[in-house]
């Protein structure tokens, strides 16, 4: 069971890489992506790491919340929406 949970976790992390647009921005260049991850890991371990973690966590949480709100709004029927015949 632990193997299945680990696989799910890794798939979810890969989904975040995709969702952030990094795959497209890096043109699917894995060396570039790995270098970027190494850079952010070094920055998180650095002198301002605690503040950077807070900043990035807030940014991610805010984006998750905005996306959830947008998805919820998209599922609601629009008030005042008219049919194809204008009625």
pLDDT value, residue 15: 96
pTM of the model: 0.73
pLDDT value, residue 77: 82
Contact 41, 33 (CB under 8 A): no
pLDDT value, residue 7: 97
Q: Which of 42, 39, 8 is nearest to 22 (CA)?
A: 39
pLDDT tens over the chain, length 87 residues:
899 999 999 999 999 999 999 999 999 999 999 999 999 999 999 999 999 999 999 999 999 999 999 999 999 887 555 555 555
pLDDT value, residue 83: 54
Structure tokens belonging to residue 7: 């696989």
């Amino acid at each position: 069971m632990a193997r299945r949970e680990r696989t799910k976790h890794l798939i979810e992390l890969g989904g975040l890489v995709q969702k952030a647009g990094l795959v497209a921005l890096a043109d699917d260049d894995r060396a570039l992506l790995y270098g970027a991850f190494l850079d952010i890991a070094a920055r998180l371990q650095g002198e301002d790491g605690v503040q950077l973690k807070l900043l990035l966590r807030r940014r991610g949480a805010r984006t998750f919340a905005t996306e959830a709100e947008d998805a919820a709004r998209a599922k609601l029927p629009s008030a005042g929406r008219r049919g194809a015949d204008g009625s």
